[in-house]
Amino acid sequence: MSATYYQLPLDLEGILERKRLPRCSAQDSIAQHLYLLLTTYFGESRFEPEFGCQVWEQDFEAMTTMRWKDQVQQSIDQSIREFEPRLARPRVQVAVMDFELKNVSQRIRRRLEVTITAVLHRTHEPFDFQASLFIAPLSVD
């Protein structure tokens, strides 16, 4: 892939100073975009209100049901198909796990594990992505 991909977060100060921005590979760019998609709620982007996924809307609901997990998985899958054209045949798997936080008075939180497998649209190379999000309340690992 010959396109130029920039690392996130963008260095806005560097842009103003006309510095060369750090670049990344297509795979890294896709991974950054998927992570942004997972951590964005619907309506957060003023220019594309449908960008994001349902994790934020479902954050405080009963997360133990299969229906909740299936809805989140379908939302992520639909968002990838709509907003990440560089991937072909994406497969999304979602798991909810209990995670014990040590050093925080033995608190247990729920963690959403998202695994995405696909192939790059142009080259047909395999692509794998995994992210963990703590939910209720939502936070990143």
Average pLDDT over residues 41-70: 78
Adjacent-strand bridge partners of 98: 110
Distance CA 93, CA 53 (A): 14
- Both structure tokens of 123: 């080259």
Q: Which spans in the chain are helix H? A: 12-16, 26-38, 66-83
Distance CA 131, CA 133 (A): 7
User: C-alpha angle 15/16/19, rounded to 5°?
Assistant: 50
- The pLDDT assigned to 1 comes to 44
Q: What is the pTM of this model?
A: 0.82
Distance CA 56, CA 38 (A): 9
Of 7-16, 107-116, 118-127, where does the model show the most confidence? 118-127
Decide if pLDDT at 77 tops 50: yes
Name the average pLDDT for the chain. Answer: 85
Reported as a pLDDT band with limits 50, 70 and 90, residue 115 is very high
From 2-11, 34-43, 72-81, 108-117, the region with the lowest mean pLDDT: 2-11
Per domain, the residue ranges of the chain are 5-140
Percent of the chain with pLDDT over 90: 46
Distance CA 89, CA 119 (A): 7
Decide if pLDDT at 78 tops 60: yes
- Domain 5-140, CATH class in plain words: alpha beta
Q: Which of 13, 7, 50 is nearest to 27 (CA)?
A: 7
Distances (CA, A) of 134 to 4, 56, 79: 32, 11, 20
